[in-house]
Amino acid sequence: MAAIVGAAGLEPTLAAVRRGAMVALANKEALVCAGDLVMHEAARCGATILPVDSEHNAIFQVFDFKAPENVDRIILTASGGPFRTLSLAEMREATPAQAIAHPIWSMGAKISVDSATLMNKGLELIEASYLFPVSEERIEVLIHPQSVVHSLVAYLDGSVLAQLGTPDMRTPIAFTLAWPSRMAAPVPRLDLAAIAKLTFEVPDSARFPALNLARRALQSGGGAPTILNAANEVAVEAFLSGRIGFLDIARIVEQTLARVNRRPLTDLEAVRDADGAARRHAALVIDPLTDDRVVSVHKAARRKRGEA
């Protein structure tokens, strides 16, 4: 089970792949940072990669791997996070405590912030492009606040197959641990009558630019996804420590993507180099933003005290 969060999970995951192991992949960043390398090594060493992310696990369960040419598109669902209905002005003032208060899932702080920005769904978009033989333009994202339909696969004949379940990670974990069989899992059973309504909406790219940044990184190829992930990790850490604002996260990632060399990644050393360069550049972008934020906080405090 590869479950180390972030780029730190890449090397141990790759080591397991090179042993020809059956890897239950809960670390999406391994494929985001080095998807070509990991998948090449998996094929070379006879490793099996089983996706644990609820969305990719759902697709895995209903994807026809024997006839992938029959697949029209795959649809990743996203809860929309805690800021799904907030305005940009409200998001600008969002605090780390608000960002990690996910309405459905219980996750760590970093992943919760990624869910709030929709960067998590962008990383999953990149991950899906490596796990399933479907081109980038045929991978879609829909906001589904109830988090009951975990993802869908649409076929050429108009059929759409979905995997549903209560939002509980014990289900996809149990699926991967027992695969190719199934095992009992102590999760609440899905009661559709009690839920009564399932809704879907298109993501708002103006309020959540991180999703499009991830798609553009995937389209660019080379080291772009590695740079995207590294810059995001640095920006999220800065946000959680109160050094930058919530909306600064996507801006930092965008600026880093634009300025760091996206050369092809042929080996692990090249991945490390791209990751390090992105982290250094993101840190340089954050420094003046931190200074501006300190000034802004002091001004706000003076206003509350009635000072000039």
pTM of this prediction? Answer: 0.91
Write the CA distances from 153 to 50, 159, 194, 198, 272, integer angstroms.
17, 8, 25, 17, 34
Question: 214, 217, 216, 226: which is closest to 7 by C-alpha?
Answer: 226
- The residue among 290 and 286 whose pLDDT is bigger is 286
Tell me the average pLDDT across 162-183: 97
Binned at pLDDT 50, 70 and 90, residue 220 comes out as very high
Q: Please tell me the least confidently modeled range out of 5-9, 55-59, 191-195.
A: 5-9
Decide if pLDDT at 101 tops 80. yes
Calpha distance 214→82 (Å, rounded): 20
Decide if pLDDT at 304 tops 70. no
- The residue among 292 and 247 whose pLDDT is bigger is 247
Query: What is residue 297's predicted lDDT score, i.e. its pLDDT?
Result: 46
Tell me the average pLDDT across 23-44: 95
Residue carrying structure tokens 């840190």: 283
Tell me the average pLDDT across 155-181: 97
Calpha distance 126→304 (Å, rounded): 44
Calpha distance 33→184 (Å, rounded): 34
Query: What is residue 303's predicted lDDT score, i.e. its pLDDT?
Result: 54
**What is the fold, at CATH topology level, of the domain defined by 221-301?**
Rna Polymerase Sigma Factor; Chain: A (1.10.1740)
Decide if pLDDT at 305 tops 60. no
Tell me the CATH number for domain 1-52.
Answer: 3.40.50.720
Query: What is residue 67's predicted lDDT score, i.e. its pLDDT?
Result: 97
Q: What residue spans define the domains of the chain?
A: 1-52, 54-218, 221-301
Q: Please tell me the least confidently modeled range out of 57-61, 105-109, 211-215.
A: 105-109
Query: What is residue 40's predicted lDDT score, i.e. its pLDDT?
Result: 96
Tell me the average pLDDT across 149-162: 98
3-class DSSP state of 297: helix
Binned at pLDDT 50, 70 and 90, residue 262 comes out as confident
Mean pLDDT across the chain: 92
Calpha distance 125→137 (Å, rounded): 10
Query: What is residue 62's predicted lDDT score, i.e. its pLDDT?
Result: 98
Tell me the average pLDDT across 88-113: 88
Binned at pLDDT 50, 70 and 90, residue 307 comes out as low
Task: Note the pLDDT tens digit of each residue in 76-100.
Answer: 999 999 999 999 999 999 999 999 9
Query: What is residue 298's predicted lDDT score, i.e. its pLDDT?
Result: 43
Tell me the average pLDDT across 240-255: 96
Q: Are strands 139-143 and 22-25 parallel, antiparallel or unpaired?
A: unpaired
Decide if pLDDT at 300 tops 60. no
Decide if pLDDT at 294 tops 50. no
